[in-house]
């Protein structure tokens, strides 16, 4: 480290070093040589397994503690000064009290380990939409992952030295080593906290080495803290993918989309359209930051530099682009190891190879469970994705034309519908839901709400978050992007999917773009504007006329019942819920009741 740092950063590192008591300190400079040395040391110590370079060049396998395999929502807190500011969807702790408790946990927590200082930028360093932070950690796995997922190193320190503000992020696995005690591959502590302090813009994480709990640049900074920054500064930090669609005439359109988990987000981000002449390029697969540009339009960036994707279910049939992305330079976590030194997981091939070692390092026994953990991950640079746009990391971002919201719905929600206006679009985003299946915990058919796909990630009261969206839309006026709702998972009476999905979703994208450009009309329904006949070639997608009709069927009585469920959900936000959201629910009910009356009158005429 050669950059002269401001006293505030130096003082913070000195203060935390005194508390944590590490054996040494390493400032991460972002150099390839330093990262190579770190990875080699992890292989030598058994913390990583290097994969066969003939199959997977410069790639590694990490195995976690079996009790440290996913985000721990029950131990994730938003510690605003006032509990009401955290809202009903967040766990809250009083900040002074929790800081005192965690300070004692951090005391001496890094004995026997190295403290790494990781300066990082979300977005290109120095970009107008970028923000920076500094993470302290004792996990070399986290350092290696941060080096893929963010822009790390001395360039960031130079920005801090120049006066840029930064978010302090403190992390420890919380397993100090006593003299002579040997380190383990994945240290973990049964006591876990992931705490966010929105007013002071701080993140404290203790006891976990899993990515979502420990790579603090990702969900903790890029969504929970950034959403608060965005509210205060007039922009948006969203759990959205970002793509560019180019039509046969060369016109470019940029679309952000929010899908809850298990709704095809990564597949859509890497979509290969089946329509000749239309192309889709990836800009981001998980997080999008959106701010108003000088021209009055919203511009969007992917603040990350890599993908932290779920491996199981990813294969040549579901997402060939992702498979091609992870050819090398990848860290795999909790996948299975093949005899030939490559990796495997359920969904990569139809048949499992012989002689697998499972995600816990044991000879795989299919009767004992899957070979790869269901939340097994790959961490890979975004730049080597075959569908990545050449200018995906342009600091200025891209102009946003449309925003999509989607959930996993077997009924009620049509394949695609356009919001009538921004307020209606906010209502669609605020009421995203997926239906539980027989394989999921809970009652079959029960709606699991995930507003804007941000339920676990919004760093403040979600009622205020809805209000922030409404205020931004009002300020944009005619420059606001169009908003749509999509549903790839509608089922027929026999339980089979009505729409083939995957590459055929490009046909829906085409309709969305033609709506943006005003080239085609739409039919008005109680839930929004839907395609008129023959505006989407469903027969070319292998969908019969009967199934196409079923994709847009509206069971009015069922939708009215769902409106009651929506009201109960929205009532949970109390008086802070914006009046505009309640007004949209009232409008939906009015439209449904009108439709019901029309259908009843039509039935009466038919009987007469």
The Cα 370–Cα 345 span in angstroms is 8
Bin 534: left if φ > 0, else alpha if -120 < ψ < 50, else beta.
left
- The one-character DSSP state at 329 is S
DSSP string, 130-155: -EEEEEEES-HHHHHHHHHHSEESHH
348-364 residues labelled b (16+ CB within 10 A) or e (exposed): beeebeeebbbbbeeeb
> How many residues are recorded in the chain?
608
The neighbour count for residue 54, using CB atoms within 10 Å, is: 9
Structure token pair of residue 201: 């813009």
Runs of H (alpha helix) within 403-460? 422-430
Structure token pair of residue 261: 């988990």
Q: For the chain, how far is it from start to end, CA to CA, in angstroms? A: 87
- Among 328, 391, 389, 304, CA closest to 122: 304
- Check if the beta carbon of residue 170 is closer than 8 Å to that of residue 15: no
The Cα 49–Cα 340 span in angstroms is 13
Strand 241-246 to 151-152 pairing? unpaired
Structure token pair of residue 41: 């040391």
Per DSSP, the three-state class of 404 is strand
Question: What are the angstrom distances between the C-alpha of 24 and each of 17, 116, 212, 308, 467?
Answer: 9, 9, 26, 29, 47
The backbone torsions φ and ψ at residue 127, rounded to the nearest 5 degrees and listed phi first, read -70, 155
The Cα 303–Cα 397 span in angstroms is 10
Q: Helices 462-476 and 579-607, interaxial angle, to 10°?
A: 80
- The one-character DSSP state at 578 is -
The neighbour count for residue 460, using CB atoms within 10 Å, is: 22
Spell out the residues 6+ positions from residue 496 whose beta carbon is closer than 8 angstroms to its own: none
79 belongs to the catalytic site:
no
- Check if the beta carbon of residue 195 is closer than 8 Å to that of residue 204: yes
Catalytic machinery residues: 263
């Amino acid at each position: 480290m050669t950059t002269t740092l401001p006293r505030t950063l130096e003082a913070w590192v000195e203060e935390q070093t005194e508390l944590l008591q590490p054996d040494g300190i390493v400032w991460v400079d972002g150099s390839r040589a330093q990262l190579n040395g770190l990875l080699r040391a992890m292989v030598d110590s058994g913390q990583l397994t290097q994969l066969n370079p003939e199959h997977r060049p410069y790639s590694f396998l990490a195995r976690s503690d079996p009790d440290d395999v996913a985000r721990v929502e029950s131990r994730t807190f938003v510690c605003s000064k006032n509990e009401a500011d955290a809202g009903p969807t967040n766990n809250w702790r009083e900040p002074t009290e929790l800081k005192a408790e965690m300070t004692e946990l951090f005391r001496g927590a890094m004995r026997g380990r190295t403290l790494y200082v990781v300066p990082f930028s979300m977005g290109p360093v120095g970009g107008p939409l970028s923000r920076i932070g500094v993470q302290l950690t004792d996990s070399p796995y986290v350092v290696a992952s941060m080096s893929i997922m963010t822009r790390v190193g001395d360039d960031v320190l130079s920005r801090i030295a120049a006066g840029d503000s930064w978010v302090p992020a403190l992390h420890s696995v919380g397993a100090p080593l006593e003299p002579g005690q040997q380190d383990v591959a994945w240290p973990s502590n049964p006591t876990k906290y992931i705490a966010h302090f929105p007013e002071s813009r701080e993140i404290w994480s203790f006891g976990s080495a899993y990515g979502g709990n420990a790579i603090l640049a990702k969900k903790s900074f890029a969504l929970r803290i950034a959403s608060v920054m965005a509210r205060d500064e007039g922009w948006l930090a969203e759990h959205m993918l970002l793509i560019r669609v180019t039509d046969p005439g060369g016109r470019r359109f940029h679309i952000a989309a929010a899908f809850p988990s298990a709704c095809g987000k990564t597949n859509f981000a890497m979509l290969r359209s089946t329509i000749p002449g239309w192309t889709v390029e990836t800009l981001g697969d998980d997080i999008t930051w959106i701010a108003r540009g000088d021209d009055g339009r919203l511009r969007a960036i992917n603040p990350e530099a890599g993908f932290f994707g779920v491996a199981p279910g990813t294969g040549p049939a579901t997402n060939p682009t992702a498979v091609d992305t992870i050819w090398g330079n990848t860290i795999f976590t909790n996948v299975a190891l093949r005899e030939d030194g490559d990796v495997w997981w359920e969904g990569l091939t139809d048949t499992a190879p012989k002689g697998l070692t499972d995600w816990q390092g044991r000879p795989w026994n299919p009767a004992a469970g899957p070979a790869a953990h269901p939340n097994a991950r790959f961490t890979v640079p975004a730049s080597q994705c075959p569908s990545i746009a050449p200018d995906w990391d342009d600091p200025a971002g891209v102009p946003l034309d449309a925003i999509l919201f989607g959930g996993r719905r077997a009924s009620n929600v049509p394949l695609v519908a356009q919001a009538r206006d921004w307020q209606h679009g906010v209502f669609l985003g605020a009421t995203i839901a997926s239906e539980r299946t027989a394989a999921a915990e809970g009652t079959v058919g029960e709606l699991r709400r995930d507003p804007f796909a941000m339920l676990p990630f919004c760093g403040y009261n979600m009622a205020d978050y809805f209000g922030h969206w409404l205020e931004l839309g009002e300020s944009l006026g005619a420059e606001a992007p169009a908003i749509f709702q999509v549903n790839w998972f509608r089922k027929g009476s026999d339980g089979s999917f009505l729409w083939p999905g995957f590459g055929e979703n490009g046909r829906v994208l085409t309709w969305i773009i033609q709506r943006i450009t005003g080239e085609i009309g739409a039919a008005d329904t109680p839930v929004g504007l839907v395609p008129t006949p023959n505006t989407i070639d469903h027969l070319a997608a292998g969908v019969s006329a009967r199934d196409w009709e079923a994709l847009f069927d509206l069971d009015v009585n069922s939708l009215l019942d769902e409106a009651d469920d929506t009201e109960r959900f929205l009532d949970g936000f109390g008086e802070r819920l914006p009046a505009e959201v309640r007004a949209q629910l009232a409008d939906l009910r009015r439209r449904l009741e009108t439709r019901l009356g029309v259908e009843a009158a039509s039935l009466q005429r038919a009987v007469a």
